[in-house]
Amino acid sequence: MSDKPSVLFVCVHNAGRSQMAAGWLRHLAGDAVEVRSAGSAPAGTVNPAAVEAMREVGIDISTQTPTLLEYATAESSDVIVTMGCGDACPVFPGKRYEDWRLEDPAGKGVEAVRPIRDEIRARVQRLLRELVPAG
């Protein structure tokens, strides 16, 4: 890992879970971590319920765009966090992988997305403590 670790969050549509995770990590880490997100079959827009749930905690992900997972992006990331993309995620020796099994917010209202958002925050906080120890 370089002095500034890079984290790639991946889910199928790159419209909900991975966008919320990237939003949390950007918010909590500032510029201490390079944050990336992508999807194996990206949607056209970010999930509106995810946007609203994040807005409630002061994080704006409304300008983010779902992005296709590129081989080079995955290869150059230090940590790859998958959220349901399965076999579509490339595997590279020496990379740190985590698979976060989280409920998919697709088709759900903001009330149902809030607990997913909060679970993602807890996992991002743990990951950040491991990547950028205090002190």
Residues carrying an active site annotation:
11, 85, 89
**Whether 9 contacts 67, CB under 8 Å:** no
Tell me if 67 sits within 8 A of 42, measured CB to CB. yes
Count other Cβ atoms within 10 Å, centred on residue 133: 7
Nearest CA-CA partner of 64 in 77, 45, 89, 88? 45
Integer Cα distance of 2 and 55 in angstroms:
32
